[in-house]
Amino acid sequence: MAIADHVDFNRFMEGVKRRNPHQTEFVQAVQEVAEDIFDFIEDKEEYHSEQILRRISEPDRVVSFRVCWEDDNGSIRVQRGWRVQNNNAIGPYKGGLRFHPSVNESVLKFLAFEQTFKNALTGLPMGGGKGGSNFNPKGKSTREIMRFCQSFMTELYRHIGPDTDVPAGDIGVGAREIGYMFGQYKRITNEFSGVLTGKGLEFGGSLIRPEATGYGAVYFLADMLATKDADLSGKTAVISGSGNVATHAAEKIGQLGGKVLTLSDSGGFIHDPDGIDQEKLDWVKHHKTHRRGRISEYVDEFSGATFHEGKRPWNVECDVALPCATQNELMGEDARALVKNGCMAVSEGANMPTDLEGVHVFKDAKILFAPGKAANAGGVAVSGLEMSQNSERRPWSEDELQKMLRDIMHGIHQRCLTYGDHGGGYTDYVKGANIAGFKKVADAMLAFGVV
């Protein structure tokens, strides 16, 4: 960046911080994008005069609401719900719902902002949104989850619709929760429409939606490795998380010949030097999804594995790493440990798992680094395909969908190369993804005038 740009950039970020006090995650996400966009728009007058960067970093609207529900003891509980409708320049708002005690307006604004560029990168007509609640599903009975989901939808329904805003799952929201929310939406509106994605196959869901994010992150990783004439065969992988994204990323790594060494949850990580193969993964999936168990119990089941309480897996030596749990789970020092231990590629299955310092460590070391908005876009891409199937009222076959997912991830990789190629064999995928996503949304906004 030129010195004048630095001054403008600092002034821009000061404004973002002033307008969004205490919203550190949102400010972090805007900064990561703006760092790349400032260079890109330097000589493009229209983006400046129309204040596109300023407008794109302000959500279209943020809806906040009370969610009351009754627990199994008959006590009344009160939670807060939100839907952030960030930008619908290229299609209806689209993005997941997260139920986790750490959810607040800042987290959802950052996720909705990221989602806007991610959705643009897929090439499908989807705007960006995100929502959720500070409700903690852990330890709740199935009936309590159902009552909460119904109460949440009783307010949310008036803000969404198949051509307006189409939510999906995220942390704490899987097929069960989507089922309860879809049932309540249908009951209130008397309408059967594609208003949510991630639905069960019996009522409009799409094949391969559960696998899509994790598989997609590995496809992207494979595409990055291919630029170095390498592949996943024989490579060791360190993965964080043990939910939907982590377990499916691990599955695909195994299918492509790699060996997964770790998985984690909020209690710590397990290290299995023998590798977490399909049989072990099936146990993890069942244990986490149906028994709502903890990853620490893996070591009681499989000998040779160790559990590391309260720790993250980034010090384990590996060829590739996939952070697949949550935001800011891979910090600067973790990134330095990965680079020092010879890790050649990182693909973010989660949203913004690497903090800004970590991103700069990877960029400086010039390793292959795929930001979440590119690498984990497979999930929302198949959600987009679920919307198409719902509109067409015809489900597509698994083969068709697998091919489409592969093609979409390949297309995203190509878009990143177009804008992130630094010459000399180094691709800045963060920059590539930011610019490609920004350009599509920004050009649509220009076409609409000042609205």
The contacts of residue 181 (CB under 8 Å, 6+ apart) are 97, 149, 150, 152, 153, 156, 167, 196
- Residue from 36, 60, 177, 265 in contact with ligand NDP (CB under 6 A): 265
> Which range binds ligand NDP by CB under 6 A, 2-10, 74-82, 170-178, 431-439?
170-178
Alpha helices (runs of H) in 86-162, residue ranges in sequence order: 105-122, 142-156
Give the SS3 label for residue 306: strand
Residue 95 contacts ligand NDP per CB under 6 A = no
242, 262, 347, 354: which one contacts ligand NDP (CB under 6 A)? 242
Residue 140 sits at φ, ψ, to 5 deg, of -85, 150
Distances 148 to 177, 178, 357 between C-alpha atoms, Å: 9, 12, 38
Task: Give yes or no for residue 266 binding ligand NDP (CB under 6 A).
Answer: yes
Are β-strands 345-347 and 320-323 bridged in parallel, bridged antiparallel, or unpaired? parallel
Min separation Cβ 448 and ligand NDP, Å: 28
Three-state SS at 286:
helix
Q: Is residue 122 close enough to count as binding ligand NDP by CB under 6 A?
A: no
Q: What is the CB-side half-sphere exposure of residue 335 using CA atoms within 13 A?
A: 25
Spatial CA neighbour of 260 closest among 303, 242, 268: 242
Binding segment (CB under 6 A) for ligand NDP, from list 65-73, 80-88, 242-250, 358-366:
242-250
* 245 belongs to the binding site for ligand NDP (CB under 6 A): yes
At its nearest, how many Å lie between ligand NDP and the CB of residue 213?
4
Compose the 186-215 pattern: x for residues touching ligand NDP by CB under 6 A, - for all others.
---------------------------x--
Q: What tokens were used for 403?
A: 């091919």
Among 91, 194, 205, 243, binds ligand NDP (CB under 6 A): 243
326, 347, 354, 427: which one contacts ligand NDP (CB under 6 A)?
A: 326
CB 376 within 8 A of CB 49: no
Please tell me whether residue 108 binds ligand NDP under the rule CB under 6 A: no
Output the smallest distance, CB 209 to ligand NDP, in A: 8
244 binds ligand NDP (CB under 6 A): yes
- Of 109, 118, 130, 252, which one is the catalytic site residue? 130
Q: Which residues of 181-243 form beta strands (DSSP E)?
A: 236-240
What is the smallest separation between the CB atom of 296 and ligand NDP, expressed in angstroms? 10
Catalytic annotation on 130? yes
Q: Is the CB of 379 or the CB of 420 nearer to ligand NDP?
A: 379
Which of 170, 272, 355, 386 is in the footprint of ligand NDP by CB under 6 A?
Answer: 170
Contact between 310 and 226 under an 8 Å Cβ cutoff? The reply is no
Q: Which residue has 């619908």 as its token pair?
A: 88
Residue 171 in the binding site for ligand NDP (CB under 6 A): yes
Pick 171 or 305: Cβ nearer ligand NDP: 171
3-state secondary structure (DSSP) of residue 98: strand
Please, which contacts does 299-308 make with residues 24 or more away whose CB atoms are closer than 8 Å?
Answer: 299/270, 302/272, 302/274, 304/272, 304/273, 304/274, 305/270, 305/271, 305/272, 305/273, 305/274, 306/270, 306/271, 307/268, 307/269, 307/270, 308/268, 308/269, 308/270, 308/271
Which is nearer to ligand NDP, 52 or 224 (by Cβ)? 224
* From 33-41, 54-62, 121-129, 325-333, span contacting ligand NDP (CB under 6 A): 325-333
* The one-letter amino acid at 222: A
Alpha-carbon dihedral 79, 69, 139, 282, rounded to 10 degrees: -90
Angstrom distance (rounded) from CA 385 to CA 436: 21
The least CB distance from residue 212 to ligand NDP, in Å, is 7
350 binds ligand NDP (CB under 6 A): yes
Q: Say whether residue 325 binds ligand NDP (CB under 6 A).
A: yes
Question: Binding of ligand NDP at residue 172 (CB under 6 A)?
Answer: yes
Q: Give the total of residues touching ligand NDP (CB under 6 A).
A: 24
Residue from 95, 132, 254, 349 in contact with ligand NDP (CB under 6 A): 349
Which of 81, 241, 432, 437 touches ligand NDP by CB under 6 A? Answer: 241
Binding characters for ligand NDP, 361-380, by CB under 6 A (x = yes): ---------------x--x-
Name the minimum Å distance from CB 374 to ligand NDP. Answer: 11
Tokens representing 106 are 């800042």
Active site residues: 130
Q: Which residues bind ligand NDP (CB under 6 A)?
A: 102, 169-172, 213, 241-246, 265-267, 324-326, 329, 349-351, 376, 379
